[in-house]
Amino acid sequence: MGEASRRQFLLRAGAYGLGFAGLSNAVQRSWASGTLPLDAAPGFGPLVADPAKIMDLPAGFSYRIIARAGEAMDDGLVGPGKPDAMACFVGPDGLTLIVCNHEMERSHTPTPFGEDHVLVEKIGREKLYDAGSGSQPSFGGTTTIVYDTKAKKVRKRFMSLAGTERNCAGGATPWGSWLTCEESVTRAGGRYAKDHGYVFEVPASAEIGLAEPTPLKAMGRFYHEACCVDPSTGIVYMTEDRGDGLIYRFVPNVPGNLGEGGKVQALMVTDRKSLDTRNWRITTMRTGEKTPVTWIDMEDIENLDDSLRTRGFDQGAAKFARGEGMWWADGVAYFACTNGGKAKVGQIFRLTPGRSGDTLELFVESPDKSVIEYADNITVSPWGDLIVCEDGSGEDSLHGITKDGGLYRLGRNALSSSELAGAAFSPDGSTMFLNIQHDGLTLAITGPWGERGRIG
């Protein structure tokens, strides 16, 4: 990562963390009691119905569709479906590089390789992670969009990793790459030539080409969802999208070089071994409560029998309700648990590493679907608010949580019942990118972001 890019990364992270340090006790009590109403914070004002019935936004905001599943890309491949988590990076000449996951399985369409997979030979089967045991490869991976925020125009779009499975979420690194995670534990056999369930690293680049499809096996094989990196230590924190999943961290042997190996550990609440944080039957963690945590070394991380989380829980690790989106900011890892909480509609935690020990806090817990329904991908705005994408069963919205814990709605999917995914801001703070996953659309949203006090 260049120095300018590194400054942008740290600036955005710092703005977010400083904002949330001031969450008031009154707001914490409101979340805990279920009395915090939607639009409890001013945000950007009420949503305005979109005449095109795609995305409702506040007055003064607009969007343009910058990518569609099924359209031809600049590398001769086809834009794959199911766009999911994304991150933005500083590109050459002021351009923005957007690296986007595609949560594609073998039953999903459109595939990057066209009908009957004829385009596989165009790029070479050796460039895919799993070319399959027959003619059908795995369809997941990442695309990269090179976007000009000033001209509001796509300059290039191409496949940047291919042949993986269910690339759901991931995380940006401070050194300028995207860690894309397979939400799968599919074993080799049948149509599959290789095991799945790994993390892959994709450099952010404006040059058309595929990243080496090298699985980072030392980071463990499980139902990976998202991750984030502590820039001061190089430690990678990871979520697991299972109803009884764990929170892991990867301590690299060489910070910044994940291919050199390291160790996988699971989070344990220090004085409450095998804690069930989900709050489904009884409340074990209250909003605003902070508790010390330690880390358990995990063995057999290749985990061919998919037992890593159950073994970890038996050893004392804490259990979480579908860990999904994750973001690092100013010394804190924030992560969403999609169906955690008494109402089973979502929790957001924050994990704070410290010299004298790490702490875990239940930051917010949604009391019902009218507040936040199934928090999924999360990101941080340039002005310091947490942005939350919903993945509910019906109407899905985009929410903001302010510096003092107030809640407002930033957008609504007016097109379909698809989840919203991949919210990410351009390095210059002018544009937010967002996916409507099941419809295969990527939007670039612009408007008066400065009204929320952007730090720049």
pLDDT in tens, 2-19: 333 323 332 333 333 334
Range from 128-137, 140-149, 395-404 that averages highest in pLDDT: 140-149
Residue 2 lies inside a defined structural domain of this protein: no
Report the b/e string of 256-267 with b at 16+ CB within 10 A. Answer: eebeeebbbbbb
Specify if 279 maps to a domain: yes
How does pLDDT run across 380-397, given as a tens digit for each residue?
898 888 999 999 888 899
Q: Is the pLDDT of residue 267 over 60?
A: yes
Among 10-14, 356-360, 373-377, 410-414, the range scoring the smallest mean pLDDT is: 10-14
Contacts of 36 (CB under 8 A, 6+ apart): 27, 30, 367, 371, 405, 407
This prediction's pTM: 0.91
Counted domains in the chain: 1
388 DSSP β-pair partners: 378, 399
pLDDT for res 413:
98
**Residue 23 predicted with pLDDT over 60:** no
User: For residue 455, which of 352, 380, 350, 377 has the smallest C-alpha distance?
Assistant: 380
Summarised one tens digit per residue, pLDDT across range 213-264 is: 999 999 999 999 999 999 999 999 999 999 999 999 999 999 999 999 999 9
Q: Is residue 76 part of a domain?
A: yes
pLDDT at 181 over 60: yes
Mean pLDDT over the full length of the chain:
90
Q: Strand (E) positions, 244-396? A: 248-252, 262-269, 290-297, 323-329, 332-337, 347-352, 358-365, 375-380, 386-390
Cis peptide preceding 110, ω within 30 of 0: yes
Whether residue 296 has pLDDT greater than 80: yes
CATH number reported for the structural domain that contains residue 48 in this entry: 2.120.10.30
pLDDT value of residue 435: 98
Is residue 117 classed as helix, strand or coil in its secondary structure? Answer: helix
Kindly state whether residue 361 falls inside one of the protein's structural domains: yes
Mean pLDDT over 18-22 rounds to 41
Statement: residue 454 has pLDDT above 70: no
Amino acid occupying residue 3: E
- What pLDDT is attached to residue 370? 86
Is the model more confident about 454 or about 25?
25
Structural domain contains residue 132: yes
Across the range 194-201, mean pLDDT stands at: 97
Which residue, among 84, 122, 126, has the nearest Cα to 212 in the 3D structure?
Answer: 126
Asked if 147 contacts 154 with a C-beta cutoff of 8 angstroms, the reply is yes
pLDDT tens-digit profile of 103-119?
998 888 899 999 888 99
Quote the CA–CA distance of 260 and 153 in Å, as a whole number. 38
In a domain, 3, yes or no: no
Question: Does residue 47 have a pLDDT over 60?
Answer: yes
pLDDT score of 298 more than 90: yes
Which pLDDT score is estimated for 33?
58
DSSP secondary structure code for residue 40 in this structure: -
Residue 166 lies in a domain: yes
Query: pLDDT tens-digit profile of 72-100?
Result: 999 999 999 999 999 999 999 999 999 99
- Cβ atoms within 10 A of the Cβ of 290, count? 12
- Note the pLDDT of residue 383: 86
**What is the pLDDT at residue 37?**
58
Q: Which domain holds residue 338?
A: 9-450
pLDDT for 15 equals 34
Position 424 pLDDT exceeds 80: yes
CA nearest neighbour of 249 among 258, 239, 259: 239
Residue 4 located in a structural domain: no
Predicted pLDDT of residue 41: 58
Q: Is pLDDT above 50 for 372?
A: yes
